[in-house]
Amino acid sequence: MTALIGPDTTDPRSAADRQHRPIASALPQGLVSLLDHEQHAHTLLPEAVWAYFNGGAADETTLRANAQAWQTLELLPRVLRPLAGGHTRVQLLGRTLAHPILVAPMAHQGLAHPHGEHATALAAAALGAGLVVSTQASTRLEDVAHSYLPDADRGPLWFQLYIQPDRGLTCELVQRAEAAGYEALVLTVDAPVQGARDRERRAGFVLPAQVSAANLTSMPVPTQALLQPGQSALFDGLLAHAPTWDDVAWLRSITHLPVLLKGITHPADAVEAVRCGAAGIIASNHGGRTLDTIPATARLLPRVVQVVQGDVPVLVDGGIRRGTDVLKAMALGASAVLVGRPILHGLTNAGATGVAHVIRLLRDELEMAMALTGCRTLADAHLTLA
């Protein structure tokens, strides 16, 4: 037992139970919404892990605003419209998706369930949800692909990338993703440094020994920069290797895969992303985990969509908790949405079964919202906002 987990009195699952849990287990009774999943998962996870998964930066203003902004948007139903033969299908990067719900990249899913990303991949594939695998996954990217790709009804498989200070290591990650069958790269551009995650620090979160970034085992141990008097450990040390727009061009030059940029919030950056040849944009504030008081993504999305003018698809994440939220995102011009923390809650509650249930709930709610607002397809979503 690690110091993170603490004694069994603080965690209702014993160490042996956690280690030998099946990849899919029975869904606990009474879970009929994503909020139910969240509340039940909170009873299962150690408080430090809960703080890591669910906390945000600083005062968590943006974290709260993300969900609240979707709730504030109002739907105005149309009635007596023809709905027979309706569907949730969308087109994205040359593929037809059964629905516009993708699993966002999330690190260290082994903290939620011993099968981690493997369970998430099985569930996402079975439910036709796209899957974005984190560089900091607790499962090797090849193993996740092996779990996801064989399903005939799966969505797209993408690999989320942080450009490493060692370009050789970045090239290695890209080559591994290509060889494993990943279909796009998602470059995270909004986190050159970690945000001030007060809740994590108060809880004393540290990674336990049994969970690590499985794709970064070859990363060299960082050395302390030699600073001159008056220099900043951040600006003159860590950020000396922070990526720039030139790195986006370099990344595109070493891969045949389309590159999407995740973390675009400013319209000017959206324009630059298109100029640099990005295949898509993900409007994201990192789930409120980096810079606090950034506007909610529901507010940012229309500005990004407006300047991109349809040149590339724009996806959005942050605070999606209901099928009505998905419909509202599509109404604002999104091509698809990414869902993060609710997936971790489902994973905690019942492994692959829990993840599948979360995705199913969102899709069912999306279909109900479409029917009740008079949308036969998501091409009609723009008609739904009050």
d(CA 386, CA 384): 7
Residue-level pLDDT at 194? 87
How many of the other CB atoms lie within 10 Å of CB of 386? Answer: 7
pLDDT in tens, 367-376: 999 999 999 9
pLDDT band at 9 (very low <50, low <70, confident <90, very high): very low
Q: From the candidates 115, 286, 345, 357, which is the catalytic residue?
A: 286
Please check the confidence at residue 6 and state whether its pLDDT lies above 50: no
pTM for the predicted model, two decimal places: 0.92
Please check the confidence at residue 85 and state whether its pLDDT lies above 70: yes
Which amino acid type is present at position 248?
Answer: V
**Mean per-residue pLDDT over the chain, rounded:** 92
d(CA 13, CA 19): 10
pLDDT band at 265 (very low <50, low <70, confident <90, very high): very high
Residue-level pLDDT at 193? 87
Residue-level pLDDT at 11? 36
CB 300 within 8 A of CB 327: no
Which amino acid type is present at position 226?
Answer: L
Please check the confidence at residue 8 and state whether its pLDDT lies above 50: no
How many of the other CB atoms lie within 10 Å of CB of 319? Answer: 27
What single DSSP character describes residue 301? Answer: H
Question: In sequence order, what are the beta bridge partners of 280?
Answer: 260
pLDDT in tens, 169-220: 999 999 999 999 999 999 999 988 889 999 999 999 999 999 999 999 876 6
d(CA 218, CA 215): 8
pLDDT band at 165 (very low <50, low <70, confident <90, very high): confident
Please check the confidence at residue 316 and state whether its pLDDT lies above 60: yes
CA 164 to chain centre: 20
Which of 121-125, 231-235, 352-356 shows the lowest per-residue confidence on average (mean pLDDT)? 231-235
pLDDT band at 54 (very low <50, low <70, confident <90, very high): very high
Question: What CATH fold (topology level) applies to the domain 31-76+85-206+244-383?
Answer: TIM Barrel (3.20.20)
Task: Tell the burial category of 192 from Cβ atoms under 10 Å away from its Cβ (0-12, 13-18, 19+).
Answer: middle
Please check the confidence at residue 19 and state whether its pLDDT lies above 60: no
d(CA 273, CA 245): 8
Q: Is 40 marked active-site?
A: no
Give which of 185, 163, 189 is closest to 241, Cα–Cα: 163
Residue-wise DSSP of 24-81? B-PPPTT--SHHHHHHHHHHHS-HHHHHHHH--STT-HHHHHHHHHHHHS-B----S-
CB 255 within 8 A of CB 178: yes
Please check the confidence at residue 13 and state whether its pLDDT lies above 60: no
